[in-house]
Amino acid sequence: MSHRTDSYASHLRGPLVAAASLLLVLGACGDAGREAAELAPGMSADVLAEDVEKFSPTTLSFDASLLDARQKKLVRKLVEASDKMDAIFLKQVWAGNPAMAERLASVDGSASQSFFKIMYGPWNRLEDNHPFLDVGPKPPGAGYYPADITKEEFETWIADELERIAECVDRLLTRAGLERAAVDRVFMTGGSSFVPSVRRIFTDRFGEERIRSGGELTSVANGLALRAAG
């Protein structure tokens, strides 16, 4: 009985191994198909994998002994703020990003998912925002505004805010007793300083040569973290 059982098992082993191998091959093809279905026309999985390899994960560290208690608290708040900003930024890049991230979760560890995480979206920032996933061109207004909005529509939409900013600037000069020519420099920061119509309020009054800017995308977060740290 034992001999017959062993013989029967040995006869089955070959077909079972072959069937298992076939299932693995079919499964791998299925994964590749899901990957390829996400790729933009002209993009291949091999090229995308090469793009991913151009980046090297890096761990940032610091010597905590150099910080006092308040500074350590500040660093923790900055990390917390960064985590929240991360999710917000993903939506700001493109309203479809959260849904795309969920789709790519089905091919976890794929080149598509890895490059999507690196680029915060389906467009290659190093190649003039050329899409590497099949989503078409990046909307000019990113995830901030409707894809078909025009500059004129946007400026009409924020007209009240522009008027209030201009009135605030003029009121400040009046209270300070200053003529526009007496202002040496105007420093602009925050994301709104990128808006041409906002910037024009200041260039019209002080001239382009007196305008300076910096930290547009980080100054507000830094200020909030300092405020939170007390």
As averages over each run of 10 residues, the pLDDT of the chain (230 residues) reads 39 37 37 56 93 91 90 91 91 92 87 94 94 92 84 92 97 96 95 93 97 90 83
Beta bridge mates, 40: none
Q: Each residue of 153-176: pLDDT tens digit?
A: 989 999 999 999 999 999 999 999
* Closest among 88, 85, 109 to 31, alpha carbons compared: 109
Listed in sequence order, the residues at least 6 apart from 212 whose beta carbon sits closer than 8 Å to its beta carbon are: 185, 186, 187, 188
Structural contact between residues 93 and 121, judged by C-beta atoms closer than 8 angstroms: yes
Q: Each residue of 29-50: pLDDT tens digit?
A: 444 444 434 899 999 999 999 9
pLDDT at 24: 34
Total-model pTM: 0.56
pLDDT at 107: 81
